[in-house]
């Protein structure tokens, strides 16, 4: 694993008395690097500031290793939860004073308790979970072949990718790549994908383009927001189809298509 992405969404870091919501923060950490989180102070610096009186100045620490990341809980009284947002309620509980708890999820939400009506949380993405090549036949570790693009076919982001590629797999010359609203509509009725909002679909497309498929999408200086979004969708579809990441058999992951309306008489 080459690293992780830690993201504190706008407003998710809590609300300190007399202060505005904590702004969004995104950190990229490589193997051996650490990020501390907590309320922080002038004498206790933290990379992720969580503004709530129930959270310690130094609440915990994230450490990246060669093949996973670890969570240390510095609280003496509170457990932290690490949720798998795509695991149908799957989670780990990290008890007080636990150091270096290994976290296996590709997507994680770290949740800390507060005295308010809502919890405080941040997200951790481990985009480089490595999978053996499907044709792997064993042998020494140094001789094993791993996949160039490590995608989890059970994840919601892969479902979004299949929906984006569907027109090309069913018709070799589609007019345009599906838009975000069209992907949301296509996944309606799916047990997992049916709960995705347009914002969630856009986040999955960003994740595919920037972390999983590494498409080199345009920067803010090269194109406007709309053009960047179109460029990301087209780029992930191109990579997925050219390298056979998404194939016809993956269409079975999508909900059954509604019947086409009957053609009108001529």
pLDDT tens-digit profile of 125-183? Answer: 987 666 665 555 555 555 444 456 778 888 899 999 999 999 999 886 667 899 999 99
**Which run of H or of E encompasses 170?**
helix 156-170
Residue 115, pLDDT score: 79
Sort residue 19 into left (φ over 0), alpha (ψ -120 to 50) or beta.
beta
Secondary structure letter of residue 233 according to DSSP:
H
- The strand pair at 107-112 and 80-83 is best described as antiparallel
Q: Assess whether pLDDT exceeds 60 at residue 226.
A: no
Domains and CATH numbers, the chain: 4-125 (2.60.200.20), 156-253 (no CATH)
Q: Assess whether pLDDT exceeds 80 at residue 52.
A: yes
The CA-atom distances, in angstroms, between 19 and each of 11, 39, 69, 106, 116 are 12, 13, 32, 33, 15
Q: Which two tokens stand for residue 105?
A: 């999820």
Average pLDDT, the chain: 82
C-alpha span between 148 and 132 (Å, rounded): 10
> CA 41, 47, 48 angle in degrees (round to 5)?
85
Q: Contacts from 131-138 at CB under 8 Å and sequence distance 24+? A: none
Q: Which two tokens stand for residue 252?
A: 């079975």
Q: How confident is the model at residue 221 (pLDDT cuts 50, 70, 90)?
A: very low
Q: Assess whether pLDDT exceeds 60 at residue 27.
A: yes
Q: Which residue has the higher pLDDT, 72 or 228?
A: 72
pTM for this prediction: 0.67
Q: Do residues 141 and 227 touch, judged by C-beta distance below 8 A?
A: no
Q: How confident is the model at residue 101 (pLDDT cuts 50, 70, 90)?
A: very high
Residue 129, pLDDT score: 67
Residue 36, pLDDT score: 97
Q: Assess whether pLDDT exceeds 90 at residue 118.
A: no
Residue 134, pLDDT score: 56
**Which run of H or of E encompasses 62?**
strand 60-64
Q: Which residue has the higher pLDDT, 60 or 171?
A: 60
Query: Residues 6 or more apart from 95 whose CB is under 8 A from it?
Result: 73, 79
Residue 24, pLDDT score: 81
b/e 242-259 (16+ beta carbons within 10 angstroms → b): eeebbeeebeebbeeeee
Q: Assess whether pLDDT exceeds 80 at residue 91.
A: yes
Q: Assess whether pLDDT exceeds 80 at residue 47.
A: yes
């Amino acid at each position: 694993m080459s690293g992780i992405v830690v993201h504190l969404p706008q407003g998710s870091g809590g609300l300190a008395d007399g202060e505005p919501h904590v702004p969004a923060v995104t950190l990229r950490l490589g193997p051996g690097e650490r990020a501390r989180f907590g309320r922080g102070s002038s004498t206790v610096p933290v990379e992720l500031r969580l503004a709530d009186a129930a959270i310690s100045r130094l609440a915990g620490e994230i450490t990246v290793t060669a093949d996973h990341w670890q969570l240390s809980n510095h609280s003496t009284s509170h457990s932290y939860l690490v949720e798998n947002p795509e695991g149908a309620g799957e989670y780990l509980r990290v008890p007080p004073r636990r150091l270096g708890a290994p976290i296996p999820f590709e997507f994680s939400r770290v949740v800390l308790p507060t005295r308010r009506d809502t919890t405080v949380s941040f997200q951790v993405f481990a985009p480089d979970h490595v999978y053996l090549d499907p044709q792997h036949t064993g042998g020494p570790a140094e001789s094993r072949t791993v996949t160039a693009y490590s995608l989890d076919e059970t994840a919601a982001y892969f479902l979004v990718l299949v929906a984006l590629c569907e027109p090309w797999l069913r018709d070799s010359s589609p007019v345009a790549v599906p838009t975000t609203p069209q992907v949301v509509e296509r996944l309606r009725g799916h047990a997992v994908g049916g709960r995705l909002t347009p914002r969630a679909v856009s986040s999955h497309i960003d994740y595919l383009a920037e972390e999983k498929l590494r498409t080199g999408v345009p920067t803010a200086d090269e194109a406007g927001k709309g053009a960047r979004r179109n460029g990301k969708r087209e780029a992930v579809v191109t990579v997925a189809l050219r390298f056979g990441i998404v194939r016809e058999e993956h269409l079975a992951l999508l909900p059954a298509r509604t019947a086409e309306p009957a053609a009108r008489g001529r």
